Amino acid sequence: APYYEWDEPVYTSIGANVGCTNCNEDDLSRVDLKTTVGLQYYFMHNRRFSPYLRGSLVYQSVYFNDPRTESAEEPAYQASQVGGELAVGLEWKITRWLILGADVAYLGLARVGDEEGRAGTIPANAGQGVATVNDSDHGATFRLNLAIRF
């Protein structure tokens, strides 16, 4: 018998994520605001352990702040990126409402436009350990999550 009586193996997802790199008051910092919209397919959706595959569209705004400039309140550089994310993961349904999960995802992004005439990237020598925004960026993430389902 199935562990849970869920009707569909496909779920939609909307996500938001904020990340900060080197966010000390006196150093150049990078803040990423990422928004995703996607679909998640569960291979064995009625089981306690459910593997899944997720595909998402991604929009990301990147802000670089430099406290050494005169207008430290305004971002020194900005960039926008669009792309996609593909993830494979496993969820453990601890109870009907509480879920623990882990996934690994590939993320591919391309820079779009320049905002307000800014170059959209930081000079290579400006920040120690702060990644720039290229015309295309790729990466992988490993994520652990705890979710409450309604």
Dump pLDDT digits (tens) for 96-116: 889 999 999 999 998 887 655
CA dist., res. 43 & res. 46, Å (int): 9
Q: Is 129 left (phi over 0), alpha (psi -120 to 50) or beta?
A: left
| Full-model pTM | 0.72
Look at 52 and 76; give whichever has higher pLDDT.
52
Report the percentage of the chain scoring pLDDT > 70: 71
Quick check: helix, strand or coil at residue 7? coil
CB 18 within 8 A of CB 30: no
